[in-house]
Amino acid sequence: MRIRVINPNTTAAMTALIEASAKLVAAPGTLVEGVNPTMGPASIESHYDEALAVPGLLAEIARGEAEGVEGYIIACFGDPGLDAARELARGPVIGIAEAAMQYASHLGRKFSVVTTLGRTAGRAWDLAERYGMERFCANVHACEIPVLELEDPKARKVIADACRDAVAADGSDAIVLGCAGMADLCEYLSDEVGVPVIDGVAAATLTVQSLVTMKLRKSGRGEFAAPLPKRYVGLLADFGIEEKEARV
Residue 77 vs 224, nearer CB to a second copy: 224
Characterise 137 by phi-psi region: left (phi > 0), alpha (psi -120 to 50), beta (else): beta
From the CB of 194, what's the least distance to a second copy, in Å? 8
| Residue 240: half-sphere exposure toward Cβ, Cα within 13 Å | 12
From the CB of 228, what's the least distance to a second copy, in Å? 6
Q: Which of 13, 31, 38, 67 binds a second copy (CB under 8 A)?
A: 38
Single-letter residue type at 35: V
Do 96 and 76 touch, CB atoms closer than 8 A?
Answer: yes
Residue 34 vs 37, nearer CB to a second copy: 37
Rounded CA separation 22/45 (Å)? 22
133 binds a second copy per the rule CB under 8 A: yes
Options 149-157, 158-166, 177-185, 217-225: segment touching a second copy (CB under 8 A): 217-225
In terms of C-beta density within 10 A (0-12 exposed, 13-18 middle, 19 or more buried), how is residue 29 classed? exposed
112 binds a second copy per the rule CB under 8 A: no
Q: Which of 13, 31, 67, 119 binds a second copy (CB under 8 A)?
A: 119
45 binds a second copy per the rule CB under 8 A: yes
